[in-house]
Amino acid sequence: MIPSPFHTLVDLLRGRRVAVLTGAGCSTESGIPDYRGPETRRKARNPVQYQAFVGDEAARQRYWARSAAGWPRFSQAQPNAGHHALAAMEHGGLLTGLITQNVDRLHQAAGSQRVVELHGALSEVRCLDCGHQEPRTAVQQRLDALNPRWTARPLELAPDGDAELAVSTSAYRVPTCLACQGVLKPNVVFFGENVPKERVAAAWAVYDAADVLLVAGSSLAVYSGYRFVLRAAKEGKPVAILNLGATRGDVHAQVCLSEKLGTVLPALADALLDPAQDLRRAS
């Protein structure tokens, strides 16, 4: 009998130390859109570029107006079954850690402890001039206070806490740093910005401690995540990919499984943490 991809996945991971790389597909079942999923890749997205945000006041107005509209729903998102399954696998000693491209901190909310946030977290805001940080909740309060008559409703929630708006943002007022009146930026890596070296080093430490790499919910379109698959292929380290739809790392993977993560990750956790589980329900 030819084994199912799920059984092949279990056999690949069982008895091995696993490093997990997660992407936006891990949080779509929590209501947070992704950029390149089956339902979203055909939609045109216009995320702010780092150089535009730094150098253009209008770009900052546009970003903060959209982000302020999207923040309430984004901040209320809760971990889904996939997040909880990964946390259970870590607590069970199966994982060397999580490397995530997500900025929502849902892994930590689910109980994961060793999490390297490649792209930072939206819950923090940093001054580009003096480095002072404050919680995003506090900045949200200041955004609302500066724009009391701002009534724009989000047409649609977009990736990374952004929101589509149908109104001009030219009159939107943006707060400055409390310490030096400098430019505030969410403590995340924008498009066109480099991931900090110390963060990359921490991610490589998670990768190096593992025998196999599991990619969960990433199309691997962004090099910051794809680099781990490329290195695994070069070193002969096995790769498994769980993602709805094809990824550019599929050619390097020993097994690919296109299923909802909220379904397959709990089944995977059950199978690896309790080998007596009946695996047929996930086949």
**Angstrom distance (rounded) from CA 264 to CA 215:** 13
pTM of the predicted structure, to 2 decimals = 0.90
**Angstrom distance (rounded) from CA 83 to CA 85:** 5
Catalytic residues: 119
Please give the share of the chain, as a percent, with pLDDT higher than 90. Answer: 78
Point out the least confidently predicted range of 54-68, 100-114, 243-257, 266-280: 266-280
What pLDDT digit, counting tens, does each position of 65-94 carry?
Answer: 999 988 988 999 999 999 999 999 999 999
Model confidence at 138: pLDDT above 60: yes
Query: CA Rg, the chain, in Å?
Result: 20
Averaged over 174-201, what is the pLDDT? 96
Count of residues making up the chain = 283
Q: Report the chain's mean pLDDT, rounded to a whole number.
A: 90
Model confidence at 17: pLDDT above 80: yes
Q: Is 75 exposed, middle or buried (0-12, 13-18, 19+ CB in 10 A)?
A: middle
Averaged over 95-99, what is the pLDDT? 98
**Angstrom distance (rounded) from CA 260 to CA 54:** 37
DSSP states along 203-231: HHHHHHT-SEEEEES----SHHHHHHHHH
**Angstrom distance (rounded) from CA 126 to CA 82:** 30
Q: Is residue 164 within 8 Å of residue 154, measured between CB atoms?
A: yes
Point out the least confidently predicted range of 185-189, 217-221, 278-282: 278-282
For residue 120, the surrounding DSSP H or E stretch is strand 120-127
Tokens read off for 147: 């724009």
What pLDDT digit, counting tens, does each position of 218-238 carry?
Answer: 999 999 999 999 999 999 999
**Angstrom distance (rounded) from CA 46 to CA 48:** 6
Model confidence at 280: pLDDT above 70: no
For residue 184, the surrounding DSSP H or E stretch is strand 184-188
